[in-house]
Structure 1
């Protein structure tokens, strides 16, 4: 099985039968507003997992679903039912004013799971932190919560395939409920609150690694672009890697398009 990374929290997990896409969102750099997962990959995707409804995680989800006919798994708060039809927040809509139908969608509450083919997916508790973005001399702050678009539907995923377990924590602050998960692979954000962003920082992420006890760690969602800001959610990935390896755990630093075998 191989894992490929496409910045932010965007991944492809592949074996002989499956191509699982996590967060097929949008590159937010104003000079490269494109899909994180290349369009050439879309039609062969077999599962689409959405950790929440922010553009860098969700912008291309309906287009990937249309191209691939793959089932979509997301948090229950990203979805609603009207007239017997399941609708999700419009990936490119404004606020919560627009909802669109998805043909094959599985909204999960925390602790619920679904088996799709030979892939089992369980929703884990995550909590999206507040966003603080510098705009000229000001900062725009947004606090996730009921009726807010920021972080809507926030969940993590425990994915079991090929006898291996992969945990992806989306954009989350540290949660004690993760203790003892012990996955083969842990994907977690490190570009955190010390930098006025919305996830764990390096030190909280290290605490998460200690309580989760994975075999391998992939840090993500750091040193990424946000419109005209070239590098936001700053983090020292080499420091993180050194500290993880002191725990006797493997750590893979992945750049855009990098691939590892697990």
Structure 2
């Protein structure tokens, strides 16, 4: 059984069989944050890209727990230099972690980390197809709509976690189009209502998804969890 807990913004905890996989753990300083960094104990961390609101507490968490961080090569190299237990990979590659696997897939966005006043670790963004807890979960990361989502859908998705905030990522209308390409059973929206530029109505998104596609849309407030397969 897989539990997906929304930690706010684009941060999630995927939990199964006593293992915790954190995705984009922006916890400290997150206006929508549901937990503090000392309340989570990841065995694995997946990072979609280098923006500060996604890298978040990664280095400190990896140092404290020994969690392996998986990210694209440039970002993993930078985080390793900062002391994280980081492994780099790239689009098309699949990595194994304790309890599951994650396949790197494309995302259309930018990727850089602001260290003081300097942009570092540019690299490229990614999404993940995660197989864990008996489920196949697509984590889009920050991205626009793109046609090759249809190929990602051929992975046989149980769940798709999609940004809907607009401005920096696709908005609700394009996210509905993404659902049509991906064909997941369940959609969970994220990356909205954290900051003024990304204010959206998730209930309207849910109505549009369920009227226009065969998917069920699950809206999670920060701190809430979804039991996959239940």
With normalisation by structure 2, the TM-score equals 0.85
Q: How far apart, in 2, do the equivalents of 1:35 and 1:164 lie?
A: 25
- Of the candidates 114, 136, 150, which is equivalent to residue 95 of structure 2? 114
Aligned to 1:38: 36
Shift of 1:18: 1.4
List alignment gaps of at least 5 residues for structure 1: 81-86, 90-98, 131-146, 226-230
Shift of 1:67: 1.6
Shift of 1:149: 5.1
Shift of 1:162: 2.4
Q: Contact 1:27 / 1:36 at 8 angstroms: preserved in 2?
A: no
- Of the candidates 173, 182, 197, which is equivalent to residue 232 of structure 1? 197
* Cα distance change of structure 1 residues 159 and 202 upon mapping to structure 2, 3 Å threshold: same
Name the structure where helix makes up a greater proportion of residues: 2
Shift of 1:40: 3.7
- Of the candidates 51, 57, 60, which is equivalent to residue 57 of structure 2? 60
- Of the candidates 185, 190, 195, which is equivalent to residue 159 of structure 2? 185
- Of the candidates 178, 198, 208, which is equivalent to residue 243 of structure 1? 208
Q: Does 1:213 align with 2:183?
A: yes
Aligned to 2:104: 123
Q: Secondary structure at the match of 1:167?
A: strand
Q: Contact 1:113 / 1:123 at 8 angstroms: preserved in 2?
A: yes
Q: How far apart, in 2, do the equivalents of 1:191 and 1:41 lie?
A: 27
Q: How far apart, in 1, do the equivalents of 2:121 and 2:33 lie?
A: 20
Aligned to 2:18: 17
Q: How far apart, in 2, do the equivalents of 1:150 and 1:235 lie?
A: 30
Structure 1 residue ranges, 4+ long, deviating more than 3 angstroms after superposition:
26-29, 34-37, 147-153
Q: How far apart, in 2, do the equivalents of 1:153 and 1:64 lie?
A: 23
RMSD: 2.4
- Structure whose CA Rg is larger: 1
Shift of 1:176: 1.4
List alignment gaps of at least 5 residues for structure 2: 112-117
Q: Does 1:164 align with 2:139?
A: no
Deviates more, 1:53-62 or 1:210-219: 53-62
Q: Contact 1:23 / 1:51 at 8 angstroms: preserved in 2?
A: yes
* Cα distance change of structure 1 residues 67 and 27 upon mapping to structure 2, 3 Å threshold: closer
Q: Contact 2:70 / 2:86 at 8 angstroms: preserved in 1?
A: yes
Q: Does 1:88 align with 2:53?
A: no
* Cα distance change of structure 1 residues 5 and 35 upon mapping to structure 2, 3 Å threshold: closer
Q: Secondary structure at the match of 2:82?
A: strand
Aligned to 2:172: 202
Aligned to 2:68: 71
